[in-house]
Structure 1
Amino acid sequence: MFKKLSLALCVLTISLSCKSQDVAVTDTIIDSYADNPKLVVGIVVDQMRYDYLTRFYKKYGDGGFKRMVSEGFNCKNNHYNYVPTYTGPGHASIYTGTTPKDHGVISNFWYDKEEKKQVYCAGDDSVAAVGTESVVGQMSPHRMLTTTFPDENRLFTQMRGKTIGVSLKDRGAILPAGHTANAAYWFHGKDQGHWISSTFYMTDLPQWVQDFNISDQAESYLKVWNTLYNIETYTESGSDLNTFEGGFNGKETATFPYDLGMLKETNWGFDILKATPYGNSLTTDFAIAAINGEQLGQDEITDVLTLSYSATDYIGHNFGVNSKEIEDAYIRLDKDLERLFNYLDTKVGKRNYTVFLTADHGAINVPAYLQSVKIPSGYINTLERQETFEAFLNKTYGTTEIVENISNNQIFLNREKVTALGLDLEAVQQRILNEQINYKNISKAYTATTMSSVNFSSGIEALLLKGFNQKRSGDIILVNDPGFISYMPTGSTHGSAMNYDTHVPLLFFGKGIKHGQTFHKTEITDIAPTMSALLGISFPNASIGQPLGFILDLENE
């Protein structure tokens, strides 16, 4: 009896001691996070050229872009350090701290040499849609090969810190949030107008998302889009009526105003919102609902919200970078940012959150407009180039089957056919390069062999190298002349190594950020290690960027 009592007392003492230690350990964990921001918000504005920040600056209020500049740090010479400058690679590179060479997202779509078909950067047939029956919900980050800084924050906090991704575009929500995200949500327009996800994250939408979807918030934006201010004051953009803009089906001219309710049926239903500033307003509404619904930033362990504003990209592609529509979109986005920051001030606390804002790429001025002001530019005659190339292949090799695919300015060879014809792969690559370099508006060409064996450290060649993935990229890489694009004659596009595509804003503000500005060159891959340094966590596993120590103000926090 005495032995049993002694044993019981011993077990009780040990148990109480362990519980005491657990409490102490938990307290230590919480204390270790106390100096970190409660919430990090990463904002990517799709297709935001750097000069949108300066060109429209006088039109902005004090609470959006100007607040970030006046309270935070402005990196004025921030560039992409690789090509191609597309949405998928851009979002992946911002959050992984590396380039397509390592993270593997070499484009939005690319030809998969193993599957022998075109694949989508976020497509995943192994998952099901949540919130819709459409295949647009079959998405995940599985094609991205490396971690993001939100992944590293999840690992560091033993999965206590949440990560939520939000964007109109699936890839804009999924790739930044990473592999361990609690959720990523994107907008399904058409006849639905709902925010959706996939079974990669969940089996059912949370109640707060269901409530948002049935609130008819999306439908409330199917109204007239007119300029926020008098159109005569929009002196930072071109004339409203011109020949350089696309417009909407069902409206004769690309001029204000646009009755979205009337135009909805001929412009893919709710998807019309994506090409208006209201798409960004809806994204802000949903982001605020996510902060509240997921209780982001409500404890001492850092959460991450990845937020991508996609409407600016759709508007730029449709109307061009010098349009009244673009100017109005950024004036209205500034208001949405102010609304978001005011909510964060109230919900999380002014000195409890950190924000960065950048873009996934810039955009070229409409070449037709550039031509009208005598700047070298134009459009690639893709059909003529293809016919000439096919004639060369038939004459040289007796078949066109030696080429398997041409996409993203890359030529993919059919390596089995090369072997069957008894040809040397490197010799074929070089001979095709020698042919292509003679074509109109091709300024440079490189083989995969060169990209795999030469370490370029400067110029466009260095950018090509960082965008080249040995397993996924093509056999010949082509570079078009500056100012020349393969695109429709209206609207803007992107993808090149030129400054109009690589130079994008980079703003930081909030907890742990100094006030200042610099013309020192920064690169897009510096963002993730900077945020990791701020949080005291591991850098993403393939990060090549450098922490921007000059923006961090850790001593005064």
Structure 2
Amino acid sequence: MKALIAALLLASAASAASAQQAPAPTPAAPAPAPTTPPRLIVVISVDQFSADLFQQYRNRFTGGFTRLLGGAVFPSGYQSHAATETCPGHSTILTGMRPAHTGIVANNWIDQSVARADKTVYCSEDETVPGTDHEHYVVSDKHLKVPTLGEMMKTARPATRVVSVAGKDRAAVMMGGHKVDELWWWDGKTYSSYAGRVVPRAVQRGRDAVAALIARPQEPLPLPGYCQALDRPITVAGKVFGQGRFAREAGDLKGFRASPASDAAVFAIAAGLIQDMKLGRGPETDIIDIGASATDYIGHSLGTQGTEMCIQMDQLDQTLGSFFATLDSWGLDYEVVLTADHGAHDMTERQQQRAMPMEEHVHADTSITAIDAQITAALGIKGPALVGAEGDVYLAKDLPARLRPRVLAEAQKRFAAMPQVAAAFTKAQIAAQPIATTPPETWTLLERARASFNPQVSGDLLVLLKPRVTTIETPKPGYVETHGSPWDYDRRVPILFWRKGMAGFEQPLSVETVDIAPTLAAQIGLPVKGLDGRCLDLDPGAGDTCAATR
């Protein structure tokens, strides 16, 4: 297995370009259409892999993405809710439920009832653990209110194995759920899991290989020819971007995390767990969830339209190809679905240079702090009257009951009047909005807000910025681009299904990420009811393949 880990890591970290220049393999004879359920389900989430990024590079892929493009292709998948962040997005992929039902309305929210001084709660933490805060936390699945597909499979068929591996804890937890056989994530230094878990050999091999890799300096990665047009410098926050090639010094943990090598390591560990646990060879269908997080770290720290993201797309394509080839060599019958937790768009400064002059950073006077200062001064009350996280604004816990309606009305009026704000909805307005049943691209802002509203944790007021206004007030090294808006550049992601023998097709009309779980359930004949998503028929010529989900 060490050879496999080395091969996958080197696919992203070697300085030689020979692998990219290798001749294409001779096409194999078409495989017969599958007639039985797959033995292994492989669910891949590429963090921040927008539909726009997929479209930009789909004609450049030669590795794993090329295989996926031969299956069922849905280029307009939607994370249909307004809160397009990592935790809410991952919570939809394998639950079949929108954040309104998963309870994961954001990466962070405010809970003024928690005992600790820090009232911000991270989506994948247990905030009741003494001595913690939302940045120094104990990872937990307690906030996920619904089961994942793996849990449903294990409940109905106990012999099912459920495994989740990711570059982020929230990706691993939200896709894996509450009943997992193995769950591992990169914690900033190594691969970790819940306290008390025995480290499997495959994970330890991955830990050792990654530690050795990080201990060495990394030479610049080769620049594919089609990336040369993006090789243009741009200076943001005193740093030059756009021409990076992932060279890093020995011991640079953050550099490793925001590089193609970190995705390769996650796939290597996933492959090792498949091999060691003999996933796909048991009495029931097994499932492994893989969260590839590097694209998000690269996007946030380096943007999406420089050489950095172009190299990442090329390297991820090759890593996927190596991973799939490894599974093929083991003779596994597996079905793959690849999607993303949200989209994104490029850094404001480069967008302004490239025909997007309306791009702008959010102004300081649009902040919760600024609006709170206005309200407390106008009403002559001691603040704060408002607290907040992300776009959710909460009335302060100690605000007298007689003042709460007035403060809320003032906050809504003042936020709505700001030139960069598209809408400000109260909790009552959102709660009164019926769940949308129309195609997601047609939803109003209020309908998008409703899809990620949960009365137990959502704010008293939700503030949504206008298109092309980024929530970054002042860019800084490591944070020059982001996402989280209700607009389609953050909502649209690809959804790609593949299985050997599947008749490929492309459906350009909109679907949703909540459709993935019921679709996979149908593939293995698992009855599921009451989900927000619907089953997508991946083989129209085989009769009603979605009957089990109705």
- The code of the aligned residue for 2:338 comes to L
Aligned residues: 494
Indicate the percent of aligned positions where both proteins have the same amino acid. 25
**Post-superposition shift, 1:465?**
0.6
Alignment partner of 1:360 is 2:341: yes
Query: Is 1:240 aligned to 2:240, yes or no?
Result: no
Deviation at 1:512, TM superposition (A): 8.1
1:259 equivalent to 2:247? Answer yes
Q: Is the 1:74–1:516 contact (alpha carbons within 8 Å) kept by the matching residues of 2?
A: yes
Within the alignment, does 1:207 sit opposite 2:201 as a pair? yes
Report the equivalent of 1:445. Answer: 424
- Whether the 8 Å contact between 1:53 and 1:65 is mirrored in structure 2 is no
- The separation in 2 between residues aligned to 1:318 and 1:203, in whole angstroms, is 33
* Cα displacement (A) at 1:535: 1.6
1:151 is aligned to: 151
Compare 438-447 and 396-405 and name the one that shifted more.
396-405
Match of 1:224 in 2: 218
2:150, 2:177 within 8 Å by CA — same for their partners in 1?
Answer: yes
Asked if 1 retains the 8 angstrom alpha-carbon contact of 2:298 and 2:308, the reply is: yes
Structure 2, unpaired ranges of 5+: 1-34, 437-442, 546-550
State which of 359, 362, 370 in structure 1 corresponds to 2:351. 370
1:99 deviates by 1.3
Distance in 1 separating the partners of 2:513 and 2:493: 9
Cα distance in 1 for partners of 2:288, 2:272 equals 12
Partner secondary structure for residue 193 of structure 2:
strand
Amino acid at match of 2:87: G
1:476 lines up with 2:461 in the alignment: yes
1:411 CA displacement:
1.0
2:411 is the alignment partner of 1:432: yes
Shift of 1:234: 1.2
Q: Does the 8 A contact of 1:221 with 1:273 survive in 2? A: no
Q: Note the C-alpha offset of 1:554.
A: 5.5
Say if 2:110 is the partner of 1:111: yes
Q: Is the 8 A contact 1:356 1:506 kept in 2?
A: yes
1:259-298 superposed matches below 5 A:
259-262=247-250, 264=251, 269-298=252-281
Cα distance, 1:82–1:226 mapped onto 2, change above 3 Å = same
Q: Is the 8 A contact 1:246 1:319 kept in 2?
A: no
Aligned pairs for 1:65-464 (under 5 A) are 65-70=65-70, 72-115=71-114, 117-124=119-126, 138-158=138-158, 160-190=159-189, 194-199=190-195, 202-215=196-209, 219=213, 222-230=216-224, 233-235=226-228, 238-244=230-236, 255-262=243-250, 264=251, 269-349=252-332, 352-372=333-353, 373-382=355-364, 385-386=367-368, 388-401=370-383, 403-419=385-401, 422-423=402-403, 425-455=404-434, 457=436, 458-464=443-449
Q: Which residue of 2 aligns with 1:3?
A: none
Distance in 2 (alpha carbons) for counterparts of 1:553 and 1:299: 29
**Corresponding residue SS for 1:335:** helix
- CA 1:380/1:295 → structure 2, altered by over 3 Å: closer, same or farther? same
Asked whether the 8 Å contact 1:298–1:348 carries over to 2, the reply is no
Structure 1, residues 504-552: CA drift from partner, whole Å, max 9, x if none? 111000168441111121011111111111122243x762111012456
Bigger share in helix: 1
Farther off after superposition, 145-154 or 279-288: 279-288
Amino acid aligned to 2:344: A
Q: How does 1:474-553 map to 2 (within 5 A)?
A: 474-487=459-472, 488-489=474-475, 491-510=480-499, 513-539=502-528, 543-551=531-539
CA separation of 1:548 and 1:254: change in aligned 2, threshold 3 A: closer
The one-character-per-residue Cα deviations of 1:141-173 (angstroms, maximum 9, x if unpaired) are 111000111110111112x11011001111111
TM-score normalised according to structure 2 size: 0.83
- Provide the C-alpha distance between the structure 1 equivalents of 2:494 and 2:105, rounded to a whole number of angstroms: 22
Once residues 295 and 553 of structure 1 are traced to their aligned partners in structure 2, the CA distance between those partners, rounded to angstroms, is: 32
How many Å separate the matches in 2 of 1:542 and 1:118? 31
- Give the SS at the match of 1:437: helix
Structure 1 482/144 Cα, relative in aligned 2: closer, same or farther at 3 Å?
same
Quote the residue 2:452 is aligned against: 467
2:396 alignment partner AA: N
Which whole-Å CA distance do the structure 2 matches of 1:82 and 1:542 have between them? Answer: 18
Structure 1, unaligned runs of 5 or more: 1-33, 129-134
Deviation at 1:410? Answer: 1.6
**Aligned residues of 1:246 and 1:318 also touching (Cα < 8 A):** no
Cα gap change, 1:77 to 1:379, in 2 (>3 Å): same
Counterparts in 2 of 1:3-82, with a 5 A limit? 35-61=36-62, 63-70=63-70, 72-82=71-81
Counterpart-to-counterpart distance in 1, 2:326 and 2:137: 29
The letter for the 2-side match of 1:48 is F
CA distance in 1, matches of 2:226, 2:177: 42
Deviates more, 1:511-520 or 1:170-179: 511-520
Larger Rg: 1
Q: Contact 2:202–2:269 (CA<8 Å) still a contact in 1? A: no
Q: Alpha-carbon deviation of 1:261?
A: 2.6
2:20 equivalent in structure 1:
none
Structure 2 distance, partners of 1:38, 1:538, is: 17
